[in-house]
């Protein structure tokens, strides 16, 4: 009988040790699960930050290309205005082209300013990840320099051409047939 008590005590002792190991392992699993969740959160935040930085860089690259194009556009329009002004001495209608070019340059300049402001605002939103960024409101678009002038006449090559009414032509053909 003495051997049977030792076996029961040994089994009880082994059971207690197994339960203690199980409790330690369960605690380790809980700790590891919490650490995995924390690391997944950091990974997600880093991915979001990198994506926002990539988008902001793309927007800034677009703004840079737009600014570079505007820097080459402005001198070309200025040369056109100068050439039209010189042609005004020979052809009176060249003044209309000069006025049209001035108005066009003013309109494009205003739209470019507005677009560049919006691009800067969107880049800031992308960088911060906020849905509402507290930037100063966009500057009001200035009035065109030539707002006091009489509306310009559009040159013939820019005017819409009259297209005959197709239905009217079809009606005439069907009535004669």
Residue 17: is its pLDDT beyond 80?
yes
Domain assignment present for 25:
no
Q: Rg (Cα) of the chain, in Å, rounded? A: 38
Domain assignment present for 170:
no
State how far the Cα of 15 lies from the Cα of 2, in Å rounded to an integer: 20
What per-residue confidence (pLDDT) applies to 149?
52
Domain assignment present for 112:
yes
Residue 59: is its pLDDT beyond 90?
yes
- The domain tally of the chain equals 1
Q: Identify the domain containing residue 110 by its residue range.
A: 52-159
Q: pLDDT per residue over 67-110, tens digit each?
A: 999 898 888 888 888 888 889 888 888 888 888 888 888 888 88
Domain assignment present for 97:
yes
Domain assignment present for 89:
yes
C-beta separation of 59 from 122 below 8 A: yes
Domain assignment present for 17:
no
What per-residue confidence (pLDDT) applies to 109?
87
Q: pLDDT per residue over 133-151, tens digit each?
A: 444 454 555 555 555 554 4
Domain assignment present for 26:
no
3 or 91: whose pLDDT is higher? Answer: 91
């Amino acid at each position: 009988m003495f051997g049977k008590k030792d076996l029961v005590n040994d089994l009880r002792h082994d059971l207690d040790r197994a339960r203690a190991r199980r409790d330690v392992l369960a605690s380790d699993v809980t700790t590891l699960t919490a650490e995995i969740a924390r690391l997944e959160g950091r990974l997600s935040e880093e991915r979001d930050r990198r994506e926002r930085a990539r988008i902001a860089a793309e927007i800034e690259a677009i703004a840079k290309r737009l600014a570079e194009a505007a820097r080459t556009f402005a001198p070309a329009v200025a040369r056109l205005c100068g050439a039209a002004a010189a042609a005004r001495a020979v052809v009176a209608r060249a003044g209309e082209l000069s006025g049209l070019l001035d108005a066009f340059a003013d309109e494009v300049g205003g739209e470019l300013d507005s677009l560049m402001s919006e691009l800067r605002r969107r880049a800031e939103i992308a960088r911060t990840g906020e849905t509402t960024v507290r930037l100063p409101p966009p500057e009001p678009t200035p009035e065109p320099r030539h707002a006091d002038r009489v509306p310009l006449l559009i040159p013939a090559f820019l005017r819409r051409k009259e297209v005959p009414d197709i239905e009217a032509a079809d009606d005439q053909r069907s009535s004669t047939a």
